[in-house]
Amino acid sequence: MLRLESLTKRYPTGDLALKGVDLEMPKGQVLALIGPSGAGKSTLVRCINRLVEPSSGKVSLDGVEVTSLGGRALRRMRRQMGMIFQEYALVERLTVMENVLSGRLGYVGFWRSYFRRFPQSDIDEAFRLLARVGLEHMVDKRADELSGGQRQRVGIARALIQDPRLLLVDEPTASLDPKTSRQIMRLICELCGERDLPAIINIHDVLLAKMFAQRIVGLQLGEIVYDGSPQGLTDEVLTQIYGEEDWSATVGKGGEEGEAEESAEHHDLPEPDRDRLAGMT
């Protein structure tokens, strides 16, 4: 079980990205984190495995406080949290297999990983996962030869081979077409179901969130403004999260027939991402 207690992040530029977020997540739950660009979704996910160092507050996974760990203990904790990235973040010049095996880096020593001598059990598991995500014929292809959907499948395999207790998913569909987005989301949710794995999926596509998540958390300017079921996302709630807009198409639908409304949903153009801007200055 994952617990966040008054998690706060202030960037060196002074931007307050998270304002005391409290959140509790039971095992096996798929949670979608929605909110406008710059609401702090990315920061929240990265504070959990401390790719971004929180300024204050606590994160604990199954009773172990992540925020107080250092060095080796932090790496041990990170290997129990699989992460799937926006734009895939595969190491482009490594092969599919090497990318998947890189999920085991937290478990093997440096020289073993350097000479690509992973234990046979890891390799078996990698083949199994690649078959599961439908890429068994691509094992020795280089990552930059793959299409977007294929890359994200590799990303999923890399996260799962870590044998994680929690999945952190950061905008998995941001650069995919609508059909592939649905396939990827379905795959992630199926795998979570198979393994009883909790997942936090940070996603800007409200329709997708409603289709696949069991619980929705709306974030606005670093604060939780909605926490409830997908059905509870009404006009008023969406307005509260994103601001004034005609939400009828988004609220009315849900489930698989939402495809036709795709274009209406894409009208809310993302503003410049505040987290990114903060990093650039």
Partner 1 sequence: MASAPRVSGGASLAGRRWRPPPLIKRRWLRWTLGLGVALYLAAAFGTIEVNWSRVYDGLPRGQAFLAAFFPPDFTSRWEEILEGINESLWMTVASTVVGIAISVPVGLGAARNIAPAPVYYFCRSIIAVSRSFQEVLLAIFFVKLFGFGPFAGFVTLSFATIGFFAKLLAEDIEDMDPTQAEAVRATGAGWFQWLNYAVQPQVLPRFIGLSLYRFDINFRESAVVGIVGGGGIGATLNTAFERYEFDSAAAILLVIIAIVMAIEYLSGYVRKWVQ
Partner 2 sequence: MPVREEAGLKVWQRRERGRQLAIWAGWLIGVTIFLYCFQLISDKTIWFFVLDAGTQAGDLGSRMFPPQWSYVDQLWVPLWDTLNIATIGTAIAIVIAVPVAFLAARNTTPSVLFLRPIALFIIVASRSINSLIWALLLVAIVGPGEFAGIIAIGFRSIGFVAKLLYEAIEEIDPAQVEAVTATGAAKPQVLAYGIFPQIAPAFAGISVFRWDINIRESTILGLVGAGGIGIQLNASVMELAWSKVSVILIAILLTVVVSEWVSARIRHAII
Burial of 209 (0-12, 13-18, 19+ CB in 10 A): buried
Q: CB nearer to partner 2: give 26 or 119.
A: 119
Rounded to the nearest 10 degrees, the angle between the axes of helix 178-195 and helix 148-160 is 10
- For residue 208, report the phi and psi dihedrals to the nearest 5 degrees: -60, -40
Q: Which residues bind partner 1 (CB under 8 A)?
A: 95, 97-98, 107, 116, 120-129, 131-132, 136, 139-140, 163, 194-195, 197
* Partner from partner 2, partner 1, none binding residue 73, C-beta < 5-8 Å depending on class: none
- Closer residue to partner 2 in complex, CB, 157/206: 157
**Residue 105 contacts which entry, partner 2, partner 1, none (Cβ below 5-8 A, type-dependent):** partner 2
Question: In angstroms, what is the minimal distance from the CB of 169 to partner 2?
Answer: 12
Minimum distance from CB of 110 to partner 2 (Å)?
5
Q: Which does 116 bind (CB under 5 to 8 A by kind): partner 1, partner 2, none?
A: partner 1
Q: How far is the CB of 161 from partner 2 (least distance, A)?
A: 9
For residues 37 and 113, which CB has a smaller minimum distance to partner 1 in the complex?
113
> Going by C-beta distance under 8 Å and a sequence separation of 6 or more, which residues neighbour residue 236?
none
CB of 278 to partner 1, least distance (A): 22
Residue 49 binds which entry of partner 2, partner 1, none, CB below 5-8 Å type-dependent: partner 2
CB 26, min distance to partner 1, A: 17
In the complex, what is the shortest distance from the CB of residue 228 to partner 1, in angstroms, rounded to a whole number? Answer: 29
The minimum distance between CB 251 and partner 2, in angstroms, equals: 34
Q: Which residues bind partner 2 (CB under 8 A)?
A: 49, 51, 72, 75-81, 83, 85, 87, 89-94, 98, 102-107, 110, 113-114, 155, 158, 162, 168
User: Which of residues 2 and 197 has its CB atom nearest to partner 1 in the complex?
Assistant: 197
For residues 149 and 258, which CB has a smaller minimum distance to partner 2 in the complex? Answer: 149
State the pairing for strand pair 2-10/166-170: unpaired
Q: Which does 96 bind (CB under 5 to 8 A by kind): partner 2, partner 1, none?
A: none
